[in-house]
């Protein structure tokens, strides 16, 4: 089958491309430039970005399926409108090209951040109404992109399935989207010993292989117009970091980092970014997410996609093995 992929050079995208090739598909991948790792007899590189409508239309010719993973997911942009241009208008361009080429099915990769935090520590599902405002431009523009997908599904009959991964971790490329694995690497090297806040904040951690499986299952079995949380195990920061210490066998003392101190550091990073035009490590709008709990339920994906969740202990073990082998 001919498959078109955006975001192939990202963390999830790279692993998805490997899996699709292993299944025998012929791929066309949209890249800003030709990258040697995509030199394969069943991969055709389409040079361009999400603003290049001609490249998108040409790339999707004769493709039955589209995976749209490309997005601007960094914590800061010199021009705040860049989030909208890439995540919303870029998605619109992908949808138009898919409609023009009569694509049989498309999977759009959003984020679990669009659902918002839990109000009472109960895991959030696809139908849970969001009561908190969006914390950052990334979440907001991914939500707007989802709205576009639903619009194209309803008005043009384009068969689109939306998937919402949570905090992805595991072996693979060291990118900004693989922040959890980067934190694991820093801990192993003795360069990270902090637990955010009081350690009680809950997050959801999903293994990369599960996310890739979920994308493929969504393409095969997902119902058009629906969205599916691709989550993993819910754990508070205390549980996560103590499990990391237990699985790695590396004993290090942890220190709690009060949220006011984190906010002060993030504000300093933001000032530096604005003055020197350098990317901040984190910004206040991202730190404020730590004030809330983010448990998730993947029951819908389990029931409708036969989605399976790798236990956090198992996933961390595989992640550590890869990091130690480097």
CATH number at residue 157: 3.40.50.720
Per-residue pLDDT of the chain (326 residues; tens, 9 = 90+): 999 999 999 999 999 999 999 999 999 999 988 788 888 999 999 999 999 999 999 999 999 999 999 999 998 898 999 999 999 999 999 999 999 999 999 999 999 999 999 988 899 999 999 999 999 999 999 999 999 999 999 999 999 999 999 999 999 877 777 889 989 999 999 999 999 999 999 999 999 999 999 999 999 999 999 999 999 999 999 999 999 999 999 999 999 999 999 999 999 998 988 898 888 888 998 888 888 999 999 999 999 999 999 999 999 999 999 888 76
Q: Count other C-beta atoms under 10 Å from residue 157's C-beta.
A: 10
Residue 258, domain member (yes or no): no
Q: What confidence score (pLDDT) does residue 313 get?
A: 98
Q: What confidence score (pLDDT) does residue 238 get?
A: 96
Q: What confidence score (pLDDT) does residue 68 get?
A: 98
Q: Count other C-beta atoms under 10 Å from residue 100's C-beta.
A: 13
- Tell me the DSSP string of 242-308: HHHHHHH------EEE-HHHHHHHHHHHHHHHHHH----S--HHHHGGGGSB--B--HHHHHHH---
Residue 28 domain boundaries:
2-172+206-233+296-310
Q: What confidence score (pLDDT) does residue 36 get?
A: 80
Residue 78, domain member (yes or no): yes
- Given a contact cutoff of 8 angstroms between Cβ atoms, the answer to whether 126 and 232 are in contact is no
Q: Would you call 18 helix, strand, or coil by DSSP?
A: helix
CA 204 to chain CA centroid, Å, is 12
The three-point CA angle 29-173-252 to 5° equals: 165
Residue 217, domain member (yes or no): yes
CA-based nearest residue to 318, from 158, 172, 214, 136: 172
pTM: 0.96
Residue 143, domain member (yes or no): yes
Q: What is the CA radius of gyration of the chain?
A: 20
Residue 29 phi, psi dihedral angles, 5° rounding: -120, 135
CA end-to-end span of the chain: 34
CA 49 to chain CA centroid, Å, is 18
Q: Would you call 113 helix, strand, or coil by DSSP?
A: helix
> In total, how many domains does the chain have?
1
Beta bridge partners of 293: 118
Residue 198, domain member (yes or no): no
CA-based nearest residue to 232, from 137, 182, 162, 302: 302
Q: Would you call 203 helix, strand, or coil by DSSP?
A: strand
Q: What confidence score (pLDDT) does residue 119 get?
A: 86
Residue 284, domain member (yes or no): no
Q: What confidence score (pLDDT) does residue 278 get?
A: 86
Residue 101, domain member (yes or no): yes
Beta bridge partners of 31: 47
Positive or negative torsion for Cα 7, 11, 15, 21? positive
Per-residue buried b or exposed e for 289-299, using 16+ beta carbons within 10 Å of the residue's own CB: bbeebbbbbbe
Residue 253 phi, psi dihedral angles, 5° rounding: -80, 135
Residue 266, domain member (yes or no): no
């Amino acid at each position: 089958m001919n498959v078109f992929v955006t975001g192939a050079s990202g963390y999830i995208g790279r692993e998805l491309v490997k899996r699709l090739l292993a299944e025998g598909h012929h791929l066309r991948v949209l890249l800003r430039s030709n990258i040697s790792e995509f030199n394969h007899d069943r991969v055709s590189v389409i040079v361009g970005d999400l603003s290049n409508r001609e490249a998108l239309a040409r790339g999707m010719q004769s493709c039955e399926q589209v995976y749209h993973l490309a997005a601007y997911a960094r914590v800061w942009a010199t021009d705040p409108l860049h989030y909208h241009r890439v995540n919303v208008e870029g998605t619109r361009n992908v949808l138009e090209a898919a409609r023009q080429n009569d694509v049989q099915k498309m999977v759009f990769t959003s984020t679990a951040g669009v659902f918002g935090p839990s109000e009472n520590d109960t895991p959030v599902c696809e139908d849970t109404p969001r009561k908190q405002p969006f914390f950052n431009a990334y979440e907001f523009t991914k939500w707007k992109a989802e709205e576009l997908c639903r619009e194209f599904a309803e008005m043009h009959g384009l068969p689109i399935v939306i998937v919402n991964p949570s905090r992805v971790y595991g072996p693979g490329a060291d990118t900004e989207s693989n922040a959890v694995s980067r934190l694991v690497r820093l801990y192993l090297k003795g360069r990270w010993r902090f637990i955010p806040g009081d350690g009680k904040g809950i997050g959801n951690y999903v293994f990369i292989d599960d996310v890739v499986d979920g994308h493929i299952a969504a393409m095969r079995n997902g119902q058009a117009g629906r969205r599916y949380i691709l989550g993993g195990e819910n754990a508070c920061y205390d549980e996560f970091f103590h499990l990391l210490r237990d699985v790695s066998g590396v004993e290090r003392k942890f220190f709690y980092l009060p949220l006011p101190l984190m906010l002060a550091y993030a504000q300093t990073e933001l000032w530096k970014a604005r003055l020197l035009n350098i990317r901040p490590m984190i910004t206040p709008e991202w730190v404020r997410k730590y004030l809330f709990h983010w448990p998730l339920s993947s029951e819908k994906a389990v029931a409708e996609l036969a989605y399976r969740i790798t236990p956090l202990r198992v996933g961390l073990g595989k992640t550590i093995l890869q990091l130690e082998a480097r």
